[in-house]
């Protein structure tokens, strides 16, 4: 009996496993959680990755729609002016070139990119609904491709991809066919345009971007020339629904905001290179 009692006492004294950090239950932590999958290239693992990536796309459209609704509700309560940074992606794969603000776009609503494109289009709709129904002061900027220091080095955007690859002595990967075009606005110009829009009297939408247009092959060749002439340029398969051309008409920005970009691509690339080299710890070769 004594032995059984002793065993019972010992059993009762076993400590339960520690509780996870309270942060695990925090909404912010869950929304920004990173997931590591070992064996993600295997049979089950690859299907798990597909499912989790689909969830990520759901979060993209939820952020655009629910996030915009939340901020509009706040602006309504406190009587604030609100600026939405929309995107040139609302024009989709444009059939009109270059694109001005009157163009309604050519967007595939069920494509792999549509979670972002349609999310921003819905966000613009919500902004104007609140403006008309509740008198909220709104401003909408349609921003085109932007680059500069502090970009995520491995975020998948073409300028950061090429610069990081050139610094690391890796081939520059141009997605086929290489003739697709983009227009690149340096971040200081973009910030100036957004401030002018926010402080002005025009609701928008207004295109904020640099009308200088480059093919992806031209961009790769420019980065190669300026950063690492020894690096190779190779082609890889493209993503579905990739727009063939993108260039803003900035007449409204010039006339209504007194804004136009000042920094040329060849001036902006060295500034971004310097930032990337510092963060990667890779100095320039003599």
Residues marked active site are found at 116
Q: What angle do CA 203, 204, 207 make, to 5 degrees?
A: 150
Q: How many residues does this entry show for the chain?
A: 286
Residue of 262, 263, 184, 188 lying closest to 220 (CA atoms): 184
Q: Which residues pair with 86 in a beta bridge?
A: 142
Instruction: Tell me how many degrees the CA angle 207-212-216 measures, rounded to the nearest 5.
Output: 110
254: three-class secondary structure by DSSP: helix
- Which residue carries 């950061």 as its tokens? 160
Q: How far apart are CA 217 and CA 219, in angstroms?
A: 5
- Give the angle 34-39-40 at the CA atoms, nearest 5°: 55
Residue 173 DSSP SS3: strand
Q: Report the SS3 class of residue 127.
A: helix
Distances (CA, A) of 96 to 51, 216, 267: 36, 20, 29
Contact 124, 205 (CB under 8 A): yes
φ, ψ of residue 199 to 5 degrees: the values are: -90, -10
| Distance of alpha carbon 236 from alpha carbon 176, whole angstroms | 6
Distances (CA, A) of 148 to 54, 190, 215, 219, 274: 29, 10, 19, 15, 10
């Amino acid at each position: 009996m004594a032995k059984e009692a002793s065993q019972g006492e010992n059993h009762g004294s076993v400590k339960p496993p520690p509780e996870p950090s309270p942060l695990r239950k925090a909404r912010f932590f869950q929304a920004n959680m990173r997931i590591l999958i070992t064996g993600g290239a295997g049979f089950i693992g690859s299907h798990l990755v597909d499912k989790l990536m689909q969830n990520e796309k759901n979060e993209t459209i939820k952020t655009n729609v629910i996030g915009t609704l939340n901020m509009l509700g706040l602006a309504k309560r406190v009587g604030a002016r609100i600026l939405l940074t929309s995107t040139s992606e609302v024009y989709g794969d444009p059939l009109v070139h270059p694109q001005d603000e009157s163009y309604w776009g050519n967007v595939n609503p069920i494509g792999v990119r549509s979670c972002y494109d349609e999310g921003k289009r819905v966000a613009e709709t919500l902004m104007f609904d609140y403006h008309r129904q509740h008198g909220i002061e709104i401003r909408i900027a349609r921003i085109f491709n932007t680059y500069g220091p502090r970009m995520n080095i491995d975020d998948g955007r073409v300028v950061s991809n090429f610069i990081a690859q050139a610094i690391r002595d890796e081939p520059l990967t141009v997605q086929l066919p290489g003739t697709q075009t983009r227009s690149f606005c340096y971040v200081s110009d973009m910030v100036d345009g957004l401030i002018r829009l926010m402080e002005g009297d025009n609701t928008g939408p207004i295109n904020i971007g640099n009308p200088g247009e480059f093919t992806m092959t031209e961009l790769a060749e420019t980065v190669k020339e300026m950063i690492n002439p020894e690096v190779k340029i190779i082609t890889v398969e493209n993503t579905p629904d990739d727009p063939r051309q993108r260039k803003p008409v900035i007449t409204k920005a010039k006339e209504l905001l007194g804004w136009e970009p000042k920094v040329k691509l060849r001036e902006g690339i060295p500034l971004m290179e310097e930032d990337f080299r510092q963060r990667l710890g890779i100095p320039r070769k003599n």
